[in-house]
Structure 1
Amino acid sequence: MKHQPRKQLGNNIRQLRTNLGLSQEQLAEKADLHRTYIGAVERGERNVSLDNILAIARALGVSASNLLEGVE
């Protein structure tokens, strides 16, 4: 069974974040977003805007397409 798009995006963000050794709080600070928002995104609870996808991608040092890998 495929993940829902928001769940897959959240999983991708969590994996990249943990690979970099960043906490949700550290990622949120780098992306200029709130920690609770990052948590909700990682759990697939938020429908993320393009602006925030780009902010998170920049904070993780990857392209937006990396975050969307496997999202259908």
Structure 2
Amino acid sequence: MDDIDFKEERKRFGQHILALRQNIKSTEYEGRPISQQELADRSEYINKKTIGQIERGEINVKFDTLIALAKVLEVEFDELFKY
């Protein structure tokens, strides 16, 4: 386990989540991707602060949050890990 850079993996995962979010079109602003706030509003489980922390790779994500992310990002659960 010494050769795994968990901080770097969290950052890579966060960048992937950001990319997935940017693939969703905003209903509030035409022609723009969904914002962190709009994603949080749609999820009813994850708040904007947590989404930002995930995208920056600052936190370990709970299993429940992963399930909610997959649902609101409109991807299969395993797609979250294809980064």
Give the TM-score range, shorter chain. 0.7 to 0.9
Aligned to 1:14: 18
Distance in 2 (CA, whole Å) between partners of 1:5 and 1:50 is 16
**1:4 shift after superposition:** 2.0
Counterpart of 1:36 in 2: which secondary structure? helix
Distance in 2 (CA, whole Å) between partners of 1:4 and 1:25 is 25
1:27 maps to which of 14, 33, 39: 39
Ranges in structure 2 where 5+ consecutive residues have no aligned partner:
25-32
Distance in 1 (CA, whole Å) between partners of 2:63 and 2:23 is 23
Distance in 2 (CA, whole Å) between partners of 1:68 and 1:59 is 15
Structure 1 outlier segments of 4+, above 6 Å? none
Larger Rg: 2
Equivalences for 1:48-63 in 2 at 5 Å?
A: 48-63=61-76
- Higher share of residues assigned helix: 1
Under a length normalisation based on structure 2, what TM-score does the superposition of the two structures give? Answer: 0.75
Aligned residues: 69
Ranges in structure 1 where 5+ consecutive residues have no aligned partner:
none
1:11-54: CA deviation from partner (whole Å, max 9, x where unpaired):
11100111111100011112221101100000000100111011
| Percent pairwise identity | 36
> Root-mean-square deviation (CA), in Å?
1.6
Aligned to 2:79: 66
